[in-house]
Amino acid sequence: MYRTPKHAFTLIELLVVISIISLLISILLPALTSARASSRMIQCQSNQRQLAIANEVYANDYDDTYVPVKTAGGGGVYRPWLWNSYYMTDLVGLEPVLPQPGLICPDRPDDAFHSYGWNHQDAPVPDGWFSHIEINRLNIKNPSQKLFIADATDWHLTKSMANYTIRWDVTGEYYPISVAYRHFIDIVNIVYADLHAGNLEKSATWDDPIERDQLWHLYDNY
């Protein structure tokens, strides 16, 4: 009885198949990596928007005043916005603890402490650092241009903290107070005072003095 001989792959054919698979992986892997990074960036923006929208609801109940960035107490004691029980528990839906496990930027390292900071540039601080710091939304000029919440290494931000040349570029996530340009190497997620979300390269937050002032000064006090 005649049998058709079985055809086996030759070594050259196997090498060609392996080469094709390797080529496909090298083409697809960067795209998959970029897609994952984009997904983390979108989740981060969603976190920031959640905080900003809840802050608007809070201001509706408190004469257009946002959650105090910092509530000062006696003896140098203060409480950041993360510890505001009504805001965090009732409006955001998370326990007021620090660090905040429910709103962590997906691109933040596990051993870093903070994810997001609030801009309080121009907010009155009559007693220095231990002042009660709050912002009234009616005083914000051109809210669509004003940075409100951003990726940060601490819970509060002012204009000088965007100076990446002496902060972020030096120690990154581990500089005590800095804008965190943690997405795609040099991009920061932000929510503006009119609640629209966006992102900026680090040069756009600091390099041009005019654009820098327009972005950071909530009351246009410059």
Q: Which residues pair with 201 in a beta bridge?
A: 187
C-alpha distances in Å from residue 182, one per residue of 6, 119, 164, 200: 57, 18, 12, 11
| Nearest-angstrom CA–CA distance, 123 and 217 | 9
118 Cβ contact list (under 8 Å, min separation 6): 69, 81, 148, 149, 155, 156, 157
* Residue 27 main-chain phi, psi, to 5 deg: -80, -40
Q: Which residues pair with 191 in a beta bridge?
A: 149, 197
Residue 93 token pair: 């839906």
| Nearest-angstrom CA–CA distance, 43 and 105 | 8
pLDDT at 1 over 60: no
32 Cβ contact list (under 8 Å, min separation 6): none
Which carries the bigger pLDDT value, residue 35 or residue 3? Answer: 35
119: nearest Cα among 82, 90, 159, 79: 159
Q: What is the mean pLDDT of the chain?
A: 87
pLDDT at residue 2, rounded to an integer: 56
Q: What average pLDDT does range 110-123 have in this prediction?
A: 90
Confidence of residue 193 (pLDDT cuts 50, 70, 90): very high
pLDDT at residue 9, rounded to an integer: 65
Domain boundaries of the chain, sorted by first residue:
54-216
| Nearest-angstrom CA–CA distance, 70 and 142 | 24
Global pTM value? 0.83
Which carries the bigger pLDDT value, residue 44 or residue 222? Answer: 44
| Nearest-angstrom CA–CA distance, 186 and 200 | 8
Task: Read off the pLDDT of residues 63-94 as tens digits, 9 standing for 90 and up.
Answer: 999 999 988 876 667 888 888 888 888 888 88
